[in-house]
Structure 1
């Protein structure tokens, strides 16, 4: 009998929850199933059905037990998401990189981006979301927010505006690692994908939509990644066209040149947050968007989910979140000052009908162009200087082993000695 009051209280709470559930304005009865404990909550807490990790090698030790593998995952990604100390020259380095930045938001566009978020933007974000996408740690899929849109639309719009006014938010994600090519005992051969709660991804997609609406003012035509009206074929088509023209003896053919392909190690994961926000401020993004992004990144953390269990908490102290809707355009914005600096320093080649071409980029895949001549030797030194500056400031790191170069066209006899010297320098 002593437990009866407690049982009655739980019974009343259950009745209240049932009454609330029945009162929610579902767009379809299918949505009601999403709120049953037997569906979303149970699946959110279920162990991931993944192939067990192979033995992992970390810091010279082979990790074979589940506990050791989880420990290696935690240590590796904690180190990856912790940037090098902020250099004492950071402010001066930023000034140097920003001095030649070609893009900025016109005042009227910045004003348009600064208006409060609306329920219509929430609706658009949810309707563009992949409804089959995995739920985040809270277990709520997109369909819950979409089916309850009359209620959730205004609530999420208010949340976006509150965060844009400076309110804090603790963002927790769960992450999985996807194998790439190479030795799978090496954690560097995996790509991390972070899955935050669906409402957080909805906010990020709203932010991304505003940035994409102004992309033409923020990024030049030769950055082709994940932007309206731009495709991978832009890069491949121009490169193939230049190669074909170089094989034809005509006034439209460019002089011989060298293409340098720069590969960055864990490019998305290494971006220094101080650099990220410095870039966005310099471009003229309004405070509403800066504060919203600051809330999403300020207290973000994750646990890595494997067949062996979950790791301890890993804090995101650097990087843009892979799997986050806004990550691609934000990364592109942090890379552009480096590419603009190369152009200002004269790195590139003249292309008849196209003008001066410094680089072609698809996100972090960057091709730069050097003249196959004595001038190309000077351009190579400028490229190295700019790269050193960019790496120090942004925390980027070029993967020399995966970077490459190739010669297009045939240098003139007068340019051949300098070209051979340039090839030797690139090969060193």
Structure 2
């Protein structure tokens, strides 16, 4: 079957990108400001975040090969100007969003996943920031997704251990799986900024991210068609290097809602989420 036509896809996804929850999950006090997250960018950091040659260019048609032709020291200077100004040039806020089917035979708009592609310049800069956040932001250890570890294997091992422990000790165990529909697409921008502040992200960096979300525009792309420019008012951008870390920071608040005394007790440890 062919993908849904433009007249179905655009209204549906524009509605998704421009709606969403206004609440912020959980509460946590603000930690000490981590000023190192907004320190000047070095050439070495740029080199560690270079866009792979096989990746697609953004709407500006600037390819990874073009990017790599410019010395890393020059890009470091440009990124530091972005940081000093607290915003990106307007043309770099343009993206395109390709709708990828989640499964074979996808025939409804909700059967697709939006992947947003911005300029390689933005992707490299945001990769630098994301690398810093991964080093300096402490997430709940129960968070496994989008991290530099084999979260799936760890989760399967832990679940197998819990079930085995319950069988060996003849104890009942109750499990619940929560699947959040369109989790990436429904996070409110207000919640994102609130969570960033609570983790000690410097005000200048929060203001920069706020300006990126406030000014971003994207065009949906389908089979032979492209939509008008859409300004998303909710969700994290799937495809942006910052998005996985930001999403994990928002989701981290859910773990604060889990009762400490509820779970499977193994030795001195209570296991109540993964």
TM-score normalised over the length of structure 2: 0.89
SS in 2 for 1:359: coil
> Which residue pairs with 1:188 in the alignment?
110
Per-residue deviation, residues 52-104 of structure 1 (Å, max 9, x unmatched): x8263xxxxxxxxxxxx223222111100112574xxx5xxx5x8214x6xx6
Distance across 2 between alignment mates of 1:72 and 1:162: 42
Match of 1:199 among 103, 114, 121: 121
Is the strand fraction higher in 1 or 2?
A: 1
Equivalent residue of 1:259, what SS?
coil
Q: 1-side partners of 2:268 and 2:81: how far apart? A: 46
Equivalent residue of 2:259, what SS? helix
User: Could you say which residue in structure 1 is the equivalent of 2:39?
Assistant: 115
> Runs ≥4 in structure 1, deviation > 3 angstroms?
104-107, 165-170
State the match for 1:97 in structure 2.
Answer: 26
Write the distance in 2 (CA, Å) between the matches of 1:74 and 1:152: 39
The alpha-carbon deviation at position 256 of structure 1 amounts to 1.5
**Match in the other structure for 1:351:** 265
Distance 1:150 1:240 in 2: 47
For normalisation by structure 1, the TM-score amounts to 0.59
CA distance in 2 between counterparts of 1:237 and 1:151 reads: 44
Q: Larger Cα Rg: Structure 1 or Structure 2?
A: 1
- How far apart, in 2, do the equivalents of 1:142 and 1:167 lie? 19
Check if 1:54 corresponds to 2:25.
no
Q: Who is 1:387 aligned against? A: none
List gaps (5 residues or longer) in structure 2.
none
On the 8 A contact 2:87/2:212 being kept in 1, the answer is: no
Structure possessing the higher relative contact order (Cα contacts under 8 Å, 6 or more residues apart): 2
On the 8 A contact 1:71/1:311 being kept in 2, the answer is no
Residues 137-182 of structure 1, C-alpha deviations (whole Å, 9 max, x = no match): 011112212221256424432333134x356645111111111237
Moved more, 317-326 or 178-187: 178-187
Indicate whether 1:233 and 2:180 are aligned.
no
Look up the SS of the partner of 1:264 in the other structure: coil
Q: Is the 8 A contact 1:82 1:316 kept in 2?
A: yes
User: Kindly tell me: are residues 229 and 122 of structure 1, through their superposed partners in 2, closer, same or farther at Cα, counting changes over 3 Å?
Assistant: same
1:214 aligns with 2:118: no
Higher helix share: 1
CA distance in 2, matches of 1:132, 1:356: 45
Q: Tell me if 1:144 matches 2:66.
A: yes
User: Equivalent residue for 2:6?
Assistant: 70
Instruction: From the superposition, tell whether residues 189 and 149 of structure 1 become closer, same or farther in structure 2 (CA, over 3 Å).
Output: same
C-alpha distance in 1 between matches for 2:221 and 2:87: 31
